[in-house]
Amino acid sequence: MKLFKLFSFSLSLVLLFAGTLIAAEHLPAPTINISPDVYYPLDEILYIEGVSRPNSAVQIQLTKQGARPVRFTVRSDVNGEWVLAEKVPLTAGDWEVRARLLHAKDSASSWSNPRVFKAIVSGITVGGINIKFAFLSFLVVVLLALGIAAFWYFSWKVKRLNARLLTKEIREAKDSVREGLSELRRDLLDELRILELSGKKLSADERARKEHVLRELDTLGRNMEKEIQDIEEKL
């Protein structure tokens, strides 16, 4: 009797498991009616819509070669319609979306026919902030323009500083030349005055040379002033 009960219990479990498998195999796969052709993860919400059994759990899977699958579970309404509307941070590339009906804890229908869409990443995410490539390009251009402006400004400042230093040196040189010529003229006149006071008379030739030397000193002074002035005007 005990053996018969044990056999009956085991047979019931087998039939229950087999019935579950048969029911799972005969579950109709959901249908995906709407999915995007192109999806921009930084700009859009991923919207996928389909039909399944009413009031059922539907699992949606997104796959791409070389990437980990992304799964979501939604429920269909009384009409069997289900919707996935999520902002999903997918990597760039071709993604395949499928759906299946979840029947029990460990059973489900077959996967639906795949729908393929392309994910296009138009920027990067830094610290939870989305930054578009267009903005990055604009930022690079602005930084480049600021760099050029800063280089031009500092070059102009250095050029002005060099010009001021050179002007100062020229002014000092001009003062030094003027002072040297004045001192030379003064020394020469003093020597001539001493000769005159000594009673020595200058010959006509010596007086001519004296006048010539004085004229040369005046001409040299004027020429030096002009040359220095021309250099200052060019600066």
Q: What is the pLDDT of residues 3-58, one digit of tens each?
A: 444 445 454 544 444 444 444 456 789 999 999 999 998 889 999 999 999 999 99
Report if residue 62 sits inside a domain. yes
Selection from 129, 34, 122 nearest residue 83 by Cα: 34
Instruction: Give the pLDDT band (50/70/90) at residue 2.
Output: very low
Count of domains in the chain?
Answer: 2
Report if residue 134 sits inside a domain. no
Residue 113 pLDDT: 92
Domain boundary among 77, 94, 121: 121
Same domain, residue pair 114 and 34: yes
End-to-end C-alpha distance for the chain, whole angstroms: 123
Q: Tell me how far apart the alpha carbons of residues 33 and 14 are, in angstroms, rounded to a whole number.
A: 38
Q: 172 or 58, which is more confident?
A: 58
Residue 27 pLDDT: 77
Containing 48, the helix (H) or strand (E) segment is strand 46-51
Residue 131 pLDDT: 66
- Choose from 12-16, 53-57, 178-182, 209-213 the range with maximum mean pLDDT: 53-57
Q: Tell me how far apart the alpha carbons of residues 108 and 27 are, in angstroms, rounded to a whole number.
A: 8
Q: What mean pLDDT comes out for the span 211-215? A: 72
Tokens of 67: 């990437």
Residue 163 pLDDT: 73
* pLDDT(159) > 70: yes
Per the CB < 8 A criterion, the answer to whether 137 and 122 are in contact is no
Tokens of 182: 């004045």
Which residues contact residue 70 at a Cβ distance below 8 angstroms, ignoring those fewer than 6 apart? 61, 62, 63, 88, 90
Percent of the chain at pLDDT > 90 equals 33
pTM of the model: 0.51
Q: Tell me how far apart the alpha carbons of residues 95 and 114 are, in angstroms, rounded to a whole number.
A: 10
Residue 38 pLDDT: 94
Instruction: Give the pLDDT band (50/70/90) at residue 230.
Output: low
Same domain, residue pair 36 and 117: yes
Same domain, residue pair 161 and 117: no
Report if residue 107 sits inside a domain. yes
For residue 39, the domain's CATH number is 2.60.40.1930
Q: 32 or 211, which is more confident?
A: 32
Percent of the chain at pLDDT > 70 equals 63
Same domain, residue pair 163 and 115: no
Domain span at residue 79 reads 26-121
Domain boundary among 121, 140, 170: 121
Same domain, residue pair 31 and 116: yes
Mean pLDDT of the chain: 77
Residue type, 4: F
Report if residue 21 sits inside a domain. no
